[in-house]
Amino acid sequence: SDGSRCSWSPPAGCFECCIKCLGGVPYASLVATILCFSGVALFCGCGHVALTGTLTMLENHFSQITTDHATLTIVIQTMQYVIYGIASFFFVYGIILLAEGFYTTSAVKKELQSQFKTTVCGRCITATFVFLTYILGLAFLGIFGFSAIPVFLFYNMWTTCAAMKSPMANITDPDSICVDVRQYGIIPWNATPGKACGSTLGDICSTSEFYLSFHLYIVACAGAGATLIALIHYLMILSANWAYLRSSCNQNEYQDIKTKDDDVEEGGSKEGLNSSYS
């Protein structure tokens, strides 16, 4: 047609569908999943590299005989395998909880709209996730506390080196300042040399292994804390979802009983009317 212009506008049904889909997204579970994945990635990735750097530093400066730290090597390797398992498990568990969040959000909305009723199996699954998340939260609380131990040890060593280098320290005999890692139970007492003093300690603090491991332990501890917060967030979400489902179930049972009572009363009134006319 002359002078007319073609303009395209999205159909109203598409816009309403997008709004409906966005309304069904469990944003709380999504935030918790992102926080959980980020925390686990930081804890596992940084913890794995930090453990390797710690073993290298001990082998080069504190325990130069392999047999002295053979047990420590096995422990560190075992911890690294455990880190692989934690990363894999939480990747799967986070996806499952996110899917459960999608299911519960849609189930509650549809039940409120009386489109269908939740089943006992669905409520049991949610209760199981509440219990499992609670156990995992307690476990990661312990992991968070355990991950703070190497941060404390490296911090003590770093502050000792900083005190030696400080011009305000006025240290007359630097060799009298030592760090003995044997007292922490990391290596046995017969390990050679087992401790570092004076300039040797300062050189250790200047190595890349020490600097990188120290900061990676800090990040790993922060990642464990983020994962713990995510699990607490998950626990609150699952508890709220279970309460909603349980409340909806009780409401539906009440409505069913009320409907049956109304039907019985209506049937009795009809029978009374029929008998009066007969």
Q: Residue 180 — pLDDT band, cuts 50, 70, 90?
A: confident
The Cα 177–Cα 162 span in angstroms is 12
3-state helix, strand, coil in the chain (%, to 5): 80, 5, 15
For residue 228, the model assigns a pLDDT of: 95
Q: What angle do CA 35, 37, 38 make, to 5 degrees?
A: 65
Residue 2 has pLDDT above 50, yes or no: no
Average pLDDT for 142-166: 89
Q: What percent of the chain has pLDDT over 90?
A: 34
Query: 88: Cβ–Cβ under 8 A, 6 or more apart, which residues?
Result: none
Residue 278 has pLDDT above 90, yes or no: no
Average pLDDT for 140-147: 93
Instruction: Tell if the pTM clears 0.75, that is, is over it.
Output: yes
For residue 15, the model assigns a pLDDT of: 65
